[in-house]
Amino acid sequence: MGSKAKKRVVLPTRPAPPTVEQILEDVRGAPAHDPVFTALAPEDPPGDPGSEAPEAQRERLYQQSRAYVAANARLQRAGEGLRQQCQGLRRAGAELELDVGHVTRAALPGASG
């Protein structure tokens, strides 16, 4: 029973990353509607930035900056939450290993617990 828990899975080695030439060839061969190019595109692409009034351009940049700061704050909070959850999982794992050790020792013939 305990031997199964100790086995480690050996993963195959990772393939070499693509070269710059291979990446460029892949990007050049992709259609314009490929999700790689459209996933992060704005819903309404702005026209020529020079055609936008300076005040409107400042407001747009200000709103983009606020959105960035808000997203950054959310990511910081999420990161802290994940760190806390990770620590909790590590503690739970350590407790589980101790409990499994106690159960294993108690289950052995002739063991006094």
What whole-number percentage of the chain has pLDDT above 90? Answer: 50
Q: Structural domain boundaries of the chain? A: 55-113
For 43-76, b where at least 16 C-beta lie within 10 A, e where not — what string? eeeeeeeeeeeeeeeeeeeeeeeeeeeeeeeeee
Query: 44 by DSSP, 3-state: which?
Result: coil
Q: Please compute, for residue 110, the number of CA atoms within 13 A of its CA located in the half-sphere on the CB side.
A: 0
pLDDT in tens, 29-81: 888 888 877 777 666 555 555 677 889 999 999 999 999 999 999 999 999 99
pLDDT at 49: 58
